[in-house]
Chain A
Amino acid sequence: MLLPSERRWYHQVLVYGLLIGGLVVVAVPFLLMVSTSLKPQQYTFEYPPRLIPRRVTFNNYVQALSKDMFFLYFMNSLGVAVSTTTSTVVISSLLAYAFGRLDFPGKEPLFYVFLVGMMIPAVTLIIPQFLVAKALKLLNSHAGLVIVYVTMNLSMQTFLLRGFFESIPSELEDAVRIDGGGRWTIFWRIILPLSRPGLATVAIFTFLYSWDEFPWAHVAIKETTRRTLPIAIALFQNQHLTQWGQVFAASIVGLIPVVTVFALFQRHFIRGVARSGLKG
Chain B
Amino acid sequence: MATSTGERIELEARPSLPARGLALLRQVYRARTAYLFLFPGLILFTAFVIYPMLYSLRISFYDWNVIKPAKSEFVGLDNYQMLLSAPVFRRAVLNTLAYTAITVPGQMTLALIVAVLLDQKIRGKTFFRVAYYLPVITSWVIVTLIFEYLFNSQAGMINYLLRDVLHLVDEPIRWLADPVLAMVPINLLGIWKGVGWSAIIMLAALQEIPGELLEAAAVDGAGPWSRLRGITLPLLRPTLVFLLVVLVIGGLNVYISVLLMTDGGQPLDLTHSVLTLMVKETFDRLNFGGGAAISYLLTAFVFFISVLQIRLLRRRVEY
A residues near B (Cβ < 8 Å) are 1-7, 11-12, 15-16, 18-19, 22-23, 25-30, 32-33, 36, 45-49, 51, 91-92, 94-95, 97-98, 102-105, 110, 113-114, 116-121, 123-125, 127-129, 131-133, 136, 147-148, 150-152, 154, 158, 182-184, 187, 208, 211-212, 214, 230, 233-234, 244, 247-248, 251, 254-255, 258-259, 262-263, 266, 269-271, 273-274, 278-280
Contacts and interface: CB of A to CB of B under 8 A. Distances in A.
Given A3-B218, A94-B40, A125-B56, A147 B48 contact: yes
Given A95-B41, A128-B55, A270-B203, A123 B275 contact: yes
Instruction: Indicate the size class of the contact surface on chain B.
Output: 35 or more
B275 A1 contact: no
Given A19-B122, A102-B31, A273-B204, A45 B155 contact: yes
Interface string B49-65: 11111011000000000
Contact of B126 (A33, A208, A266): A266
B45 A120 contact: no
Interface string B223-250: 0100110001000111101100000010
A91 B44 contact: yes
Interface stretch (B8-16, B99-107, B207-215): B207-215
Contacts of B266: none
A154 B200 contact: no
B275 A259 contact: no
Contacts of B140: 212
A183 B33 contact: yes
A123 B40 contact: no
B44 to A, nearest CB: 4
A102 B157 contact: no
Nearest to B207: A274
Contacts, number: 259
7 contacts: A46-B155, A117-B49, A123-B275, A127-B55, A132-B48, A278-B239, A280-B205
Contacts of B288: 127
B116 interface: yes
Given A1-B228, A151-B49, A158 B41 contact: yes
Given A127-B66, A230-B139, A258-B137, 9 more contacts: A6-B218, A18-B117, A33-B142, A36-B149, A121-B298, A124-B292, A124-B299, A132-B51, A255-B138
B308 interface: no
Given A19-B118, A49-B160, A105 B31 contact: yes
